[in-house]
Structure 1
Amino acid sequence: MGKFGLLHQDIRKNASIIAAIAAAVITSFGITACSSDDTVAPYNGLNASMGTPEFQQNYMNLFYLYIDKDKYLRNPTSYLGRVDTEAMLDRGIPWDYHDIYYMYAQMNDLYTYYVDPSRAKSLLSTWMSSEQKIDAGFELDSAYIPEKYVVKKVIEKSPADIAGIKAGDEIVEIEGVSPISSTVFDRLSVASEGDVITYTIKRDSTNKTIPVTIEPYSLPTVELSFKDSIPVIKINEFVQETSNDSGTFGEFVHYLHETEKYKTTIIDLRNNGGGDVSQCIAMSQLLLSKGDTAIGILSMVPDTLRKKQASKTTFYINEHDGIFKDRYFVFLANENTASCSEIMIASVVSNKKYPVVGSVTYGKGIGQTSFYTRSYALVSITSMKTIDKHGESYHKYGIVPDFAILDDAIALDKAIALAKEQNYVRVAGYGTTNTGHFAKAAMEPDTMPGFFHFSKEYSADIKLKY
């Protein structure tokens, strides 16, 4: 996977770009869908006289990769000279990208889009790493004694961690000033990138002065807490670069090892919009047994010899036991649990039948190939569908919880009860009502097939991994 670039499935991080660019192109410029009478263009329908080289490259990108190319990709000439150029220029979009924006706007999902070079700079890197923060990088114990400031947690690889501050240290001075109140503490802690804050800490009855250089650091994506003596591991997103060298996967493994004496654990994926697919698949496989099928990915790939789009299906199958296969897990999910989060749930519960508590998930069973073009524009193209071990997909319908509970606190209580019992076997499956998240404003009503069955035509192309 990722042969053509980063496989990006993060709804939260996509939202602003989608809204500001794709939706604006569809709505603000009065673009309407191409007529259904247009014929699908063969690759050789494109020639050097049709648009700019960048347009031609992007037409080929869609021709080879877009999963619904046969439905929505028209003849190249259908996209040339169709937009209000003045309106596009008013939006600050360079003239030589207008036809490309229009072409991408005609595809039938918001995750297939184009970002011209002036807007694409550094965007891809934000997808690969967790949110960054600029401060010292520690948290105080919320139960500290009044007028005592005890460090509860130090973020890995944060300035405080690098400088040597540890959990349990009591901060007695900042820049030589005693923090007599939380207000004074906060004011003394304000700094910009490159500043040095000198903390005096008390450790084992000994005072020590530690200078901390303030630099940006990546926030962790996984949190561990305990509720009624049950470990709760909350995963906020799936990314390659976090405070841990191995990304979200490394953080997850760390907390699973930290709780290895427990026989049951709750995995909280509520409001997790997804991220890097390689991370969530690898994390899922930790919980499965040898021979279990984690997930299948149906991908569109270029057949450049025959000048056509081809497909392949890869199933991820455990070659050995996951190190946490014997632990009982309960999943928490809601309507904002999407993409990679849904992959993790579907991978595990289709094999282990662990329960899911909360509400029906978002239903994003498609994936994107994202990459830079030769002009350094950024492209995202829906090129994949997710299928479970049975060849079925939750796309557009979501994963149904075994216990439908909308209230977060009550859902957690139910998850705790199930975790203690450790005997519930999942019976729910995928939804039957379209979640409505995938229709596009200027297109005909939502027509992308939702419930996908693994077709016999792909059976000869199955390649097994893990």
Structure 2
Amino acid sequence: MGRYRLLSKGFRKVYSLIYTISAFSLACFAMGATACSSDSGTSANELKASSYTKEFLYNYSQLYYLYINKDLYLGKPEDYIDKLDKEQVKLLVQSGYPWDYHDIYYMYAMMNDAFTYYIDPARSVGLMSTWSTSAPKTDAGFTLDSTVIKQKYVIKQVIKNSPADKAGLKAGDEITEIEGTPITNDIVFQRLSIASEGDTITFTIKRDSTTQTIPVEIESYLTPTVETTFEDSIPIIKIKEFTAYTSNDSGTYAEFVEALHETEKYRTTIIDLRNNGGGDMDHCIPMAQEFLSKNDTAIGVIRALPDTIHKKQVIDTLYFFNKTDGIAKDRYFVFLANEKTASCSELMLASVTTNKKYPVIGTTTYGKGIGQSRFFTPSMSLVSITSMKIIDKQKTTYHKYGIAPDFAISDNDLALEKALALAKDQNYIRVAGYGTVNTGHFAKVTVEPDTMPGFYLLPEEYRRFIW
């Protein structure tokens, strides 16, 4: 946990800089300081301040300082004013987009990056919290063991911080009654388990040689993001996403460490990253480091940072290396991945496979080797700006091409079967690398517009790519 906290602090310095430059940026553009000029040579004193809202100027400055491809795509401020045609304006108005934000939406759309986008205040409420938390759920918060004797309802797992956990239910408890009604079949169990937030369900359980009645008050809770199961005596750790707040107060990293400790007696383990679209670097980087040995280089992050002294964007490269051995460095791992394995999941794969050469089974991954800074503007709009590019320790990127599997198997069951065979054998050394065919999620070359269809600010296209 100590290393995680240091890493977290390091990344959050980047985000704190975003807020540090805010007041400067607005003042700079408003007063017409020539030092705020863009690379195209346009300075703020050539602009008519009355033509731009404070919100527009703020967002232009954020793109100027943070957007890592701003030299390719960011033009002059006037390039984004009143450029929408009548049909585009009509569509935005019909969709409820406030008129005074249209130019800002247009500016972000012209960055040719579906992960660099703007959400006005009417739409931003609640979104930041969903990015930093796992999916909420409203029920008692336990799962049943399907392997027990028929018509017995034994609790297999109680989710941490769920209503069941707070009430005192435990794994191994046999539920005999709900609300005083004996559980005779699945239909009765399901019917009596239905409840809304604020309701109380009374469970009668057998625990060892005693019978207890435990009331459980139903409330919303955060679901776990790491799940451990077993197949043929091989542990399978599935990582659903990487996020700061989950059923564990310390997030996905802490869940993963718990899973590694719970399975530490096993010499081989399968890591399932299928359908994991990514998440928080503060979690996936230290998780990747737990596979590695002391002095291994995990990953490199190329970052766009604001230089407020010289009023320009600077590019910095930060490498993450292990100061100590990871807790799982001596185990053999097999990874499952598919085309929906993206972003932080790919970062983990790149970190581990370039060092340990563990095999990957499935299909070529998404190919998202970029990272975003996300923050609120003064108007409480929400902004996502691509400010980072990911490279491995050989300074190579998988961006646009994804990570290739050693065994290309699209069928989930067959992929798992192959992973189990490799896990039992513990001898296969990875030979595949990164993909060789553009996945089509990003531009074919740097200066081309992305191959994804549509004008990004349009509602249906815009929402499709918000992760």
Code of the residue aligned with 1:345 in structure 2: it is L
Q: Return the structure number with greater relative CO, CA threshold 8 A, min gap 6.
A: 1
Partner of 1:62: 63
Does residue 298 in structure 1 map to residue 311 in structure 2? no
Question: Hey, what's the Cα distance between the residues in 2 that align with 1:81 and 1:122?
Answer: 30
Question: Hey, what's the Cα distance between the residues in 1 that align with 2:400 and 2:432?
Answer: 17
What's the secondary structure of 2:181's corresponding residue? Answer: coil
Partner of 1:14: none
Partner of 1:206: 210
What's the secondary structure of 2:182's corresponding residue? Answer: coil
Q: Runs of at least 4 residues of structure 1 off by over 4 A?
A: none
CA contact (8 A) 1:40 1:74 kept: yes
Q: CA deviation at 1:287?
A: 0.9
Q: CA deviation at 1:445?
A: 4.4
Question: Hey, what's the Cα distance between the residues in 2 that align with 1:39 and 1:283?
Answer: 39
Question: For 1:124-135, what aligned pairs fall within 5 Å after superposition?
Answer: 124-135=128-139
TM-score (norm 2): 0.85
Does residue 48 in structure 1 map to residue 52 in structure 2? no
Does residue 260 in structure 1 map to residue 264 in structure 2? yes
Question: For 1:220-231, what aligned pairs fall within 5 Å after superposition?
Answer: 220-231=224-235
Which 5+ residue runs of structure 2 have no aligned equivalent?
1-10, 17-37, 453-467
In structure 2, the CA distance between the partners of 1:189 and 1:365, relative to structure 1 (3 Å rule), is same
Equivalent residue for 2:241, pick from 237, 240, 259: 237
In the comparison of the two structures, how many residue pairs are matched? 415
Partner of 1:16: none
Deviations along 1:267-298, whole A, 9 cap, x unmatched? Answer: 11111110101101000111111110000000
Question: Hey, what's the Cα distance between the residues in 2 that align with 1:137 and 1:279?
Answer: 24
Q: CA deviation at 1:52?
A: 0.5
What's the secondary structure of 2:51's corresponding residue? Answer: coil
Does residue 286 in structure 1 map to residue 287 in structure 2? no
Question: For 1:67-106, what aligned pairs fall within 5 Å after superposition?
Answer: 67-83=68-84, 84=86, 85-106=89-110
Q: CA deviation at 1:39?
A: 8.3
Equivalent residue for 2:366, pick from 358, 362, 365: 362
CA contact (8 A) 2:242 2:279 kept: yes
Deviations along 1:422-448, whole A, 9 cap, x unmatched? Answer: 2222121111110001249xx954499
Question: Hey, what's the Cα distance between the residues in 2 that align with 1:2 and 1:347?
Answer: 21
What's the secondary structure of 2:306's corresponding residue? Answer: strand
In structure 2, the CA distance between the partners of 1:348 and 1:268, relative to structure 1 (3 Å rule), is same
What's the secondary structure of 1:126's corresponding residue? Answer: helix
Does residue 3 in structure 1 map to residue 7 in structure 2? no
Question: Hey, what's the Cα distance between the residues in 1 that align with 2:52 and 2:192?
Answer: 58
What's the secondary structure of 2:323's corresponding residue? Answer: coil
What's the secondary structure of 2:304's corresponding residue? Answer: strand
TM-score (norm 1): 0.85
Equivalent residue for 2:320, pick from 316, 337, 340: 316
Q: CA deviation at 1:147?
A: 3.2
Deviates more, 1:342-351 or 1:417-426: 417-426
What's the secondary structure of 1:3's corresponding residue? Answer: helix
In structure 2, the CA distance between the partners of 1:431 and 1:42, relative to structure 1 (3 Å rule), is farther
Deviates more, 1:270-279 or 1:173-182: 173-182
Question: Hey, what's the Cα distance between the residues in 2 that align with 1:141 and 1:215?
Answer: 23
Question: For 1:329-344, what aligned pairs fall within 5 Å after superposition?
Answer: 329-344=333-348
CA contact (8 A) 1:289 1:321 kept: yes
In structure 2, the CA distance between the partners of 1:230 and 1:144, relative to structure 1 (3 Å rule), is closer
Question: Hey, what's the Cα distance between the residues in 2 that align with 1:295 and 1:346?
Answer: 8
Partner of 1:35: none
Question: Hey, what's the Cα distance between the residues in 1 that align with 2:48 and 2:65?
Answer: 16
Q: CA deviation at 1:49?
A: 2.8
Equivalent residue for 1:155, pick from 152, 159, 178: 159
Code of the residue aligned with 2:149 in structure 1: it is I
Partner of 1:351: 355
CA contact (8 A) 2:403 2:435 kept: yes
Q: CA deviation at 1:359?
A: 1.1
What's the secondary structure of 2:417's corresponding residue? Answer: helix
What's the secondary structure of 1:301's corresponding residue? Answer: strand
Deviations along 1:159-191, whole A, 9 cap, x unmatched? Answer: 001100111111121111222221121111111
Partner of 1:217: 221
Please state which structure has a larger fraction of its residues in helix.
2
Q: CA deviation at 1:40?
A: 3.4
Deviations along 1:44-78, whole A, 9 cap, x unmatched? Answer: 46563331000000000111111111111111111
What's the secondary structure of 2:59's corresponding residue? Answer: helix
Code of the residue aligned with 1:123 in structure 2: it is L
CA contact (8 A) 2:274 2:338 kept: yes
Partner of 2:399: 395
Q: CA deviation at 1:414?
A: 1.6
Q: CA deviation at 1:193?
A: 0.8
In structure 2, the CA distance between the partners of 1:145 and 1:263, relative to structure 1 (3 Å rule), is closer
Q: What CA RMSD, in Å, does the superposition of the two structures yield over aligned residues?
A: 2.0
Q: CA deviation at 1:338?
A: 0.5
Equivalent residue for 1:170, pick from 161, 174, 192: 174
Question: Hey, what's the Cα distance between the residues in 2 that align with 1:203 and 1:146?
Answer: 18
Code of the residue aligned with 1:375 in structure 2: it is S
Which 5+ residue runs of structure 1 have no aligned equivalent?
7-37, 449-466
Does residue 429 in structure 1 map to residue 433 in structure 2? yes
In structure 2, the CA distance between the partners of 1:129 and 1:392, relative to structure 1 (3 Å rule), is same
Partner of 1:18: none
Code of the residue aligned with 2:229 in structure 1: it is S
Q: CA deviation at 1:387?
A: 0.3
In structure 2, the CA distance between the partners of 1:399 and 1:153, relative to structure 1 (3 Å rule), is same
CA contact (8 A) 1:139 1:153 kept: yes
Code of the residue aligned with 1:40 in structure 2: it is S
CA contact (8 A) 2:204 2:211 kept: yes
In structure 2, the CA distance between the partners of 1:301 and 1:344, relative to structure 1 (3 Å rule), is same
